[in-house]
Structure 1
Amino acid sequence: MPDRIEQAKRALRADLRERRQIVSSQTRDAAEAGIKEQLDALVDRLGARSISCFLSTPTEPGTHAFVTAAVARGIRVLLPITREDGLLDWSVATPETEIAEGLFGLPEPVGDVLGPIAVNDVDLLVIPAAAVDRHGMRLGWGRGYFDKTLGSMEKCPPVYAVIFDSEFVDDVPRDVHDQPVTGVVTPTRTIALASHHA
């Protein structure tokens, strides 16, 4: 049956990707400001001093303003770097961090590279998603990097996926290797979900 699941995921991803393409620049700017506000509050609530956060692409709800502000506040922020083998390396964000195009054309940091286990030290993971359902199941973009990362962590801290409000849905197709998240952050709210990390 995995083929049916895979087809359902592909169809949903295509639909979500298309919807993200047509978001206006004003909506994008407002989304980035909203995401920053929500993530700042989440970091404060959790007392997180070390976090991981992805660098958003132009069509994702923006995370760059949040990362810049978190670094300025003295929070240690690890940024992901994709590897050929399906794992993620990490780099510590600094005010001078340069951004370049990574393996899949994603924005990634240029700097000292830490191995995949560096993420085991964080208090909070902020990850991308195409959609998340009410049970905490996350639909990613199909490369499996974050599912692998979450699945390999000995003690997983809270994991929040960043999505637009419309991408918090009733159900997403799921496979055995798909990892749930603790909650979602949208431009207007932060929702904690019941999952095995909560």
Structure 2
Amino acid sequence: MSRKAALRRELLAARALLTPEDVRRTAAVLSAAAADLPELAAAETVAAYVSVGREPGTHALLDALRARGVRVLLPVLMADNDLDWAVFEGAEHLGPAGRGLLEPDGVRLGPQAVLDADVVLLPGLAVDGRGMRLGRGGGSYDRVLARLAAAGAHPALVVLLHDDEVVARVPEEPHDHPVDAVVTPAGTRRFPPGGRDRPRVS
């Protein structure tokens, strides 16, 4: 088992111990904290995602952003694991999709739609002190980040996590991108500007 796979297994096991009340409480705190981020306050378009299960909750944040007039893009998983996007039109326009996900039912805008985002909220299992993110391993958001880099687009990259998911070190591969900030119930941690250009660790 790779170091990434072992860490994913450990973190998912910890999430499995969370109660519904834990999840609700964390979601409320995260929504308020994330909504106060200057990057989100100034954003016209935000690429986000719909949390499921014991992921740090995004539902209240999605509603708050939409109520403020922010254009919120939500991912639609394609057959090749890449992501298409559609505009969030409210919880009543979310439906079940593969892998237990919820997806918007609106017009598909194409994978390039993420290039319009001022902020991208990335799902994750952990972030370390360098801003390196550990995802679930499907590769969908690796493609999103590569697409942004190829286009020269630099939206703020933000991850929402539970407190104990900010770890000492995330195993890193050459294609991995550091994020700009992580928001947990304990507060927001930012990482140095220009992190996308700092040397990678092999």
TM above 0.5, one fold? yes
Q: How many residues align?
A: 193
Take 1:125 and 1:13, find their aligned partners in 2: how far apart are those partners?
22
Q: CA deviation at 1:46?
A: 5.2
Q: Which runs of 4+ in 1 moved over 4 A?
A: 43-46
Q: CA deviation at 1:44?
A: 6.0
Take 1:118 and 1:36, find their aligned partners in 2: how far apart are those partners?
24
Q: CA deviation at 1:72?
A: 1.1
Q: CA deviation at 1:109?
A: 1.5
Aligned to 2:143: 148
Take 2:80 and 2:128, find their aligned partners in 1: how far apart are those partners?
28
Aligned to 2:167: 169
Take 1:43 and 1:105, find their aligned partners in 2: how far apart are those partners?
32
Q: Which amino acid aligns with 1:91?
A: A
Residues 76-134 of structure 1: CA deviation (Å, up to 9, x unaligned): 10001111123110110113652222232212222211101101011100110010111
* Counterpart check, 1:87 vs 2:82: yes
Tell me if the contact between 1:157 and 1:197 (Cα under 8 Å) persists in the aligned partners: no
* Counterpart check, 1:187 vs 2:182: no
Which deviates further from its counterpart, 135-144 or 84-93?
Answer: 84-93
The equivalent position to 2:115 in structure 1, one of 108, 117, 120, is 120
Q: Point out where structure 1 has 5 or more consecutive residues left out of the alignment.
A: 1-5
**Helix, strand or coil: the match of 1:118?**
helix
TM-score (norm 2): 0.89
Which deviates further from its counterpart, 112-121 or 21-30?
Answer: 21-30
Which deviates further from its counterpart, 151-160 or 90-99?
Answer: 90-99
Q: Which amino acid aligns with 2:3?
A: A
Between the aligned residues of both structures, percent identity stands at 36
C-alpha spacing 1:45/1:114, structure 2 compared with 1 (3 Å):
closer
Aligned to 1:33: 28
Take 1:149 and 1:45, find their aligned partners in 2: how far apart are those partners?
19
* Counterpart check, 1:8 vs 2:3: yes
C-alpha spacing 1:104/1:78, structure 2 compared with 1 (3 Å):
same
Root-mean-square deviation (Å): 1.8
Take 2:91 and 2:24, find their aligned partners in 1: how far apart are those partners?
23
Q: CA deviation at 1:43?
A: 4.8
Q: Point out where structure 2 has 5 or more consecutive residues left out of the alignment.
A: none
TM-score (norm 1): 0.91
C-alpha spacing 1:97/1:116, structure 2 compared with 1 (3 Å):
farther
Tell me if the contact between 1:134 and 1:169 (Cα under 8 Å) persists in the aligned partners: yes
Residues 22-79 of structure 1: CA deviation (Å, up to 9, x unaligned): 1122211111111111111015665112101110012101000110111111111000
Take 1:136 and 1:179, find their aligned partners in 2: how far apart are those partners?
8
Take 2:72 and 2:126, find their aligned partners in 1: how far apart are those partners?
24
Take 2:100 and 2:50, find their aligned partners in 1: how far apart are those partners?
12
Tell me if the contact between 1:156 and 1:197 (Cα under 8 Å) persists in the aligned partners: no
C-alpha spacing 1:41/1:54, structure 2 compared with 1 (3 Å):
same
